[in-house]
Chains A and B, each alone.
Chain A
Amino acid sequence: MTVLAEVLREQTRARYPDEQGYVERDGIRVFWERYGEGEPTFLLPPTWEIVHSRCWKMQIPFLARHARVVTFDPRGNGRSDRPLDYEAYTRREFAEDALAVLDAAGVGRAVVVGWCDLGESLILAAEHPERVAGLVLIAPPLSPNQVENSVYSFDDVLDTDEGWAKENRHYWLRDWQGYLEHFFSESFSEPHSTKPVEDCVGWGLETDAETILAGFRGWDTKELDPETTAALCGRIRCPVLVVQGTEDALVEPKRALDLADALAAPVLLLEGSGHGPHVRDPVKTNLTVRDFAGLAPEPRRWTRAKSRRRRALFICSPIGLGHAQRDVAVARELRQLVPDLEIDWLAQHPVTAVLQAEGERVHPMSAELANESGHMESESAEHDLHCFQAWRRMDEILLANFMVFHDVVREEQYDLWIGDEAWELDYYLHENPEEKRAAYVWLTDFVGWLPMPDGGEREAFLTADYNAEMIEHIARFPRVRDRALYVGNPEDVVSDSFGPKLPLIRDWTEEHFDFAGYVTGFDPAAFADREKLRAELGYRPGELVCIVTVGGSGVGGHLLRRVVDAFPEAKELVPELRMVVVAGPRIDPAAFPDLDGLEAHAYVHNLYRHLAACDLAVVQGGLTTAMELTANRRPFLYFPLRHHFEQNFHVRHRLERYHAGRALDFETATPAVIAQAIAEEIGREVDYLPVETDGAAKAAARIAELL
């Protein structure tokens, strides 16, 4: 199976460099980056040129919050030059590049963390001890003893390209991507490693077989020989730590143990880990590197158990504003039940805006969180957000944000952590269950990644793989989630399967979740007198009010324009029509035509009141707004974002159950179709199922049992 159809543009980083530049040696330019300030400094050298410095993406944001980090792209990949001369790729050249980068970045001395170091870090530490304060070697392939490298000839034409026969000059020239896919599938031998494999294949495709072949005549010449390795080891005096996975399919663990012996260095054995634990088990690796560098003194304050105040930390996903509203409602109910409870929020914009307006305490470390909603927006196109892939392409941000969380709960004691679709928390707690030190509640309004039809086999495989990993997590570590609360009812869960040979989503969810019912965050009884509300909002009797709103991001601009284009025809069909377009901060309301009965506003205060009062709403397929309209029994048209599996499957399923709203397809909904739909739906009496009003209280009651 092909992993990557194309080289994707770089995904949003959790942190961008504070300084970058090139160093030039013998006419060859090498690109470097510096992140953060202060001491110590970490130098993260690239491994060989099959990948580039992005292979450290899971380490940089965390380490740079505590220290200074310098990294660089190897000659032959990334933004560095690609010399075609064999001598340009010796390990000594890499070591000299590292020194030049340290000089350019103004770094005297660094803790060097190497992945699959072929010798450059050993040369640095042995020959330039004044520049190397310590050395962490992750999956080092070098051995002081003679080892067998490959059974296949690198240079001969082979009659097979099975397995490691792909490590062959002729195969590389024929199918470089095929080699990369093999190499990195072997590197990440852990199950569910699709993303690391894709990342590395993508980086490998930024160079090509010709460049790689310039610097490669087989492993015997690529890496330092055993005699040189042994001699260098004998000269290294700085503290060294060797980190080695027991399931490393590329480097026999014995090599790392022998090397550690020669260095008289301790070994951290990671059982079950493959060749890239810093990528596949980044939490453990980050904490190990932090401790090695003595970066994390014990907190200076400890409160004895009986003296502790009752505290909860609420981690609220910023993707969609609905989480903020319902979480505030849950928090309010929770305080009713546990009056002495203090709640801190670890959250980011736009959630923080809601929290501040509600007088909630946003933890100051929230400022360190990498921006998730900005990433989502950057992944969107015309009424289109492939949210599964966008979420996968957020792995660096999610890990960076988990590490922020980890720093917070290391310093401060909480009784309870509540994560509302806090993916980073849920995922990395199951990956590192020893880090769970409080009761933990998981909240979500959908279960199961679902493939979009045009994603083909690959997307079906990926969604099933993520679902399988989640199912395995819960089965293996049922103690991690003390409560799993579904925001809705069992019937709201889709009837699909998690994937081939996996359970049905509905069955599994009923077994593993409690159901709170829907949490609206407001009481629809407050809007029962609709005539009074309309009068307050300035809507005249006889007017038929249609509100068009697409949320705060720029993704909705295309839908807004399409609906505005439908206005003239709709106005002919419905002469009493008054269309109110809420453009949001990213779209200029002046761009809309000046027509009688059409108005556009950048912002509408208390939009939910207008939605409660209107005769029709036109919205995207997001759950929160659609369910607000359902609870207020308003007719509405909704347009699920293209490629957004949650809006297309999960939300749509739920709305259909409530008989609520009318789904339109952005692809086929011409202005004429929209005008017709407006005319049919506006002012219509609805037969929606009622939406419960006690969801927040039910959720809070289940949570309070843990306090």
Chain B
Amino acid sequence: MTTVVRAPAEQTRARYPDEEGYVERDGVRVFYEVYGHGEPTVFLLPTWSIIHSRHWKLQIPYLARHFRVVTFDGRGNGKADRPSGVAAYTEREFAEDSLAVMEATGTESAIVVGLSCGVLWGSLLAADHPERVAGAVFIGPAVPLAPGHPERNVYSFEERLDTDEGWARYNRHYWLEHYEGFLEYFFSQMFSEPHSTKQIEDCVGWGLEMAPETLIDCQYALELCGLERFGDICARMRCPVLVLHGDEDRIRPHAQGAAYAEATGGTLVTLEGSGHAPHARDPVKVNLLIREFVESLERRPP
């Protein structure tokens, strides 16, 4: 079944940015948006470039009524540039882009919110610039602190396969030849909850805004990045951390979120029955958890 024939025009937003712009680093431009005013700032980070900042669409209108919200399209998708080459997509590049967006938007410090791979650059930002990260909410962390799902480890990404069943579709040849088929499969796994058609359609649409070649660069960059040092990065983080992880996450096991919370001294909230993107599938609960966390930092209990 084909979910999306082509990337549809963006649907009407509940709220449009009060300010937007580009920041450029080494000739690569990323596109940011600012919603609302005042303090504190909630900074919604990009995740893996397979989707862009619209994946926060169910957070922005609510959070922006209570806080200032900054988000941006990460390199590779949305209104950001699509440089070619693996080196452009390392976790450090995303962390540097994030810092550049903070500079450009006059954001001294923020509570960062990240999804999946976004936790890698979010952690790097918090560890290297503790004065700029007052707290972190990380959803479904894709972190090398616990083994991944074994079924995702069966097939080669590189080799041409004689099957395209299941995770065999996580393969560069399949991407290049059946990109949309891959997107549909991947997001059907991301949203393991029943009745997730709209969420899957949205993500497939955003995925179609980039080319598979770019996604392949991103994939190699993730494989290359210095993940063996990730535990040290966590150890250097000082800010309060809230981790949300679904116990039915088929992309990244709950154990990774649990290990990340442990490594950062953070609080783990387990979302029973949730998949990899609860902010899209259970937005009310996630919005309330984010707000409560941000306000708890503000309140500083006696």
Mark A residues whose CB is within 8 Å of B.
40, 111, 133-134, 238-239, 292-295, 297-304, 306-308
Given contacts A111-B302, A239-B302, A292-B302, whether A307 and B270 have CB atoms under 8 Å apart is no
Question: Is B300 an interface position by the 8 A CB rule?
Answer: yes
Complex interface: chain B residues within 8 A of A40 (CB): 302
Question: Is B109 an interface position by the 8 A CB rule?
Answer: no
Question: Is B211 an interface position by the 8 A CB rule?
Answer: no
**Would A239 and B272 count as touching, CB distance under 8 A?**
no
Complex interface: chain B residues within 8 A of A300 (CB): 267-270
Q: List 8 A-B contacts (CB under 8 A).
A: A134-B302, A239-B300, A293-B301, A294-B296, A302-B270, A302-B285, A306-B194, A308-B273
- Of B193, B269, B300, which contacts A302 at CB under 8 A? B269
A-contact 0/1 string along B260-271, CB 8 Å cutoff: 000000011111
Please give me the residue from chain B that is nearest to A300 by CB atom. B269
Closest 5 CB pairs of A and B: A294-B301, A307-B273, A134-B302, A303-B272, A133-B302
In the assembled complex, the CB of B273 is this many whole angstroms from the nearest CB of chain A, namely: 3
**Would B269 and A301 count as touching, CB distance under 8 A?**
yes
Complex interface: chain A residues within 8 A of B267 (CB): 297, 300
**Would A304 and B273 count as touching, CB distance under 8 A?**
yes
**Would A238 and B273 count as touching, CB distance under 8 A?**
no
Given contacts A297-B267, A298-B292, whether A304 and B302 have CB atoms under 8 Å apart is no
**Would A302 and B301 count as touching, CB distance under 8 A?**
no
Instruction: Tell me, in angstroms, the Cα distance from A295 to B299 when the chains sit together.
Output: 12
Question: Is B274 an interface position by the 8 A CB rule?
Answer: yes
Instruction: Tell me, in angstroms, the Cα distance from A69 to B301 when the chains sit together.
Output: 17
**Would A298 and B302 count as touching, CB distance under 8 A?**
no
Please give me the residue from chain A that is nearest to B195 by CB atom. A306
**Would A298 and B269 count as touching, CB distance under 8 A?**
yes
Please give me the residue from chain A that is nearest to B285 by CB atom. A302
Q: Knowing that A298-B292, A304-B281 are A-B contacts, what are 19 other residue pairs whose CB atoms are under 8 Å apart, sorted by A's residue number?
A: A111-B302, A134-B301, A239-B300, A292-B301, A294-B296, A298-B269, A298-B289, A301-B269, A302-B271, A302-B285, A303-B273, A304-B193, A304-B271, A304-B272, A304-B274, A304-B278, A304-B285, A306-B273, A307-B272
Most chain B beta-carbon contacts within 10 A, residue among A40, A134, A307: A307
Question: Is B20 an interface position by the 8 A CB rule?
Answer: no
Complex interface: chain B residues within 8 A of A307 (CB): 272-273
Most chain A beta-carbon contacts within 10 A, residue among B281, B296, B301: B301
Instruction: Tell me, in angstroms, the Cα distance from A306 to B272 when the chains sit together.
Output: 10
Please give me the residue from chain A that is nearest to B288 by CB atom. A298
Complex interface: chain A residues within 8 A of B128 (CB): none
Mark B residues whose CB is within 8 Å of A.
193-195, 267-274, 278, 281-282, 285, 289, 292, 296, 299-302
In the assembled complex, the CB of A415 is this many whole angstroms from the nearest CB of chain B, namely: 15
**Would B272 and A293 count as touching, CB distance under 8 A?**
no
Please give me the residue from chain B that is nearest to A136 by CB atom. B302
Please give me the residue from chain B that is nearest to A240 by CB atom. B302
In the assembled complex, the CB of A639 is this many whole angstroms from the nearest CB of chain B, namely: 54
- Of B268, B278, B281, B302, which contacts A293 at CB under 8 A? B302
Complex interface: chain A residues within 8 A of B271 (CB): 302-304
Instruction: Tell me, in angstroms, the Cα distance from A363 to B299 when the chains sit together.
Output: 33
Please give me the residue from chain B that is nearest to A266 by CB atom. B299
Please give me the residue from chain A that is nearest to B194 by CB atom. A306
Please give me the residue from chain B that is nearest to A293 by CB atom. B301
Instruction: Tell me, in angstroms, the Cα distance from A134 to B285 when the chains sit together.
Output: 30
Complex interface: chain B residues within 8 A of A303 (CB): 271-273
**Would A301 and B193 count as touching, CB distance under 8 A?**
no
**Would B193 and A306 count as touching, CB distance under 8 A?**
yes
Complex interface: chain A residues within 8 A of B195 (CB): 306
Instruction: Tell me, in angstroms, the Cα distance from A302 to B274 when the chains sit together.
Output: 9
Complex interface: chain A residues within 8 A of B272 (CB): 301-304, 307
Please give me the residue from chain A that is nearest to B289 by CB atom. A298
In the assembled complex, the CB of B255 is this many whole angstroms from the nearest CB of chain A, namely: 16
Most chain A beta-carbon contacts within 10 A, residue among B272, B281, B285, B296: B272
In the assembled complex, the CB of B18 is this many whole angstroms from the nearest CB of chain A, namely: 27
Given contacts A40-B302, A239-B302, A292-B301, whether A304 and B289 have CB atoms under 8 Å apart is no
Complex interface: chain A residues within 8 A of B299 (CB): 239, 294
Complex interface: chain A residues within 8 A of B193 (CB): 304, 306
Instruction: Tell me, in angstroms, the Cα distance from A102 to B292 when the chains sit together.
Output: 32
Complex interface: chain A residues within 8 A of B302 (CB): 40, 111, 133-134, 238-239, 292-294
Please give me the residue from chain A that is nearest to B269 by CB atom. A300
Instruction: Tell me, in angstroms, the Cα distance from A307 to B247 when the chains sit together.
Output: 11
Instruction: Tell me, in angstroms, the Cα distance from A304 to B271 when the chains sit together.
Output: 7
Complex interface: chain A residues within 8 A of B281 (CB): 304
In the assembled complex, the CB of A510 is this many whole angstroms from the nearest CB of chain B, namely: 41
Please give me the residue from chain A that is nearest to B286 by CB atom. A302
Instruction: Tell me, in angstroms, the Cα distance from A295 to B301 when the chains sit together.
Output: 8
Complex interface: chain A residues within 8 A of B289 (CB): 298
Please give me the residue from chain A that is nearest to B244 by CB atom. A302
**Would B270 and A301 count as touching, CB distance under 8 A?**
yes
In the assembled complex, the CB of A427 is this many whole angstroms from the nearest CB of chain B, namely: 29
In the assembled complex, the CB of A434 is this many whole angstroms from the nearest CB of chain B, namely: 15
Please give me the residue from chain A that is nearest to B275 by CB atom. A304
Complex interface: chain A residues within 8 A of B270 (CB): 300-302
In the assembled complex, the CB of A73 is this many whole angstroms from the nearest CB of chain B, namely: 25
Instruction: Tell me, in angstroms, the Cα distance from A299 to B282 when the chains sit together.
Output: 16
In the assembled complex, the CB of B243 is this many whole angstroms from the nearest CB of chain A, namely: 10
Complex interface: chain A residues within 8 A of B274 (CB): 304
Please give me the residue from chain B that is nearest to A295 by CB atom. B301
Instruction: Tell me, in angstroms, the Cα distance from A115 to B203 when the chains sit together.
Output: 55
Please give me the residue from chain B that is nearest to A134 by CB atom. B302
Complex interface: chain B residues within 8 A of A299 (CB): 269
Instruction: Tell me, in angstroms, the Cα distance from A307 to B281 when the chains sit together.
Output: 13
Complex interface: chain B residues within 8 A of A295 (CB): 301
Please give me the residue from chain B that is nearest to A413 by CB atom. B272
In the assembled complex, the CB of A301 is this many whole angstroms from the nearest CB of chain B, namely: 5
Please give me the residue from chain B that is nearest to A133 by CB atom. B302
In the assembled complex, the CB of A491 is this many whole angstroms from the nearest CB of chain B, namely: 48
Most chain A beta-carbon contacts within 10 A, residue among B194, B195, B271, B292: B271
Please give me the residue from chain A that is nearest to B299 by CB atom. A294
Complex interface: chain B residues within 8 A of A111 (CB): 302
Instruction: Tell me, in angstroms, the Cα distance from A258 to B268 when the chains sit together.
Output: 41
Complex interface: chain B residues within 8 A of A294 (CB): 296, 299, 301-302
Complex interface: chain B residues within 8 A of A297 (CB): 267, 296
Instruction: Tell me, in angstroms, the Cα distance from A294 to B281 when the chains sit together.
Output: 29
In the assembled complex, the CB of B190 is this many whole angstroms from the nearest CB of chain A, namely: 15
Instruction: Tell me, in angstroms, the Cα distance from A616 to B236 when the chains sit together.
Output: 81
Instruction: Tell me, in angstroms, the Cα distance from A558 to B273 when the chains sit together.
Output: 59
Complex interface: chain B residues within 8 A of A306 (CB): 193-195, 273
Instruction: Tell me, in angstroms, the Cα distance from A111 to B301 when the chains sit together.
Output: 10
Instruction: Tell me, in angstroms, the Cα distance from A188 to B296 when the chains sit together.
Output: 33
Instruction: Tell me, in angstroms, the Cα distance from A298 to B285 when the chains sit together.
Output: 11
Instruction: Tell me, in angstroms, the Cα distance from A550 to B289 when the chains sit together.
Output: 54
In the assembled complex, the CB of A242 is this many whole angstroms from the nearest CB of chain B, namely: 15
Please give me the residue from chain B that is nearest to A299 by CB atom. B269
Complex interface: chain B residues within 8 A of A302 (CB): 269-272, 285
Complex interface: chain B residues within 8 A of A238 (CB): 302
Complex interface: chain B residues within 8 A of A301 (CB): 269-270, 272
Instruction: Tell me, in angstroms, the Cα distance from A306 to B248 when the chains sit together.
Output: 13
In the assembled complex, the CB of B300 is this many whole angstroms from the nearest CB of chain A, namely: 7
Please give me the residue from chain B that is nearest to A304 by CB atom. B273
Instruction: Tell me, in angstroms, the Cα distance from A299 to B272 when the chains sit together.
Output: 12
Most chain B beta-carbon contacts within 10 A, residue among A239, A300, A304, A307: A304
Instruction: Tell me, in angstroms, the Cα distance from A292 to B270 when the chains sit together.
Output: 25
Instruction: Tell me, in angstroms, the Cα distance from A293 to B300 when the chains sit together.
Output: 9
Instruction: Tell me, in angstroms, the Cα distance from A517 to B271 when the chains sit together.
Output: 43
Complex interface: chain B residues within 8 A of A133 (CB): 302
Complex interface: chain A residues within 8 A of B300 (CB): 239
Given contacts A238-B302, A239-B302, whether A304 and B282 have CB atoms under 8 Å apart is yes
Complex interface: chain B residues within 8 A of A239 (CB): 299-302
Please give me the residue from chain A that is nearest to B282 by CB atom. A304
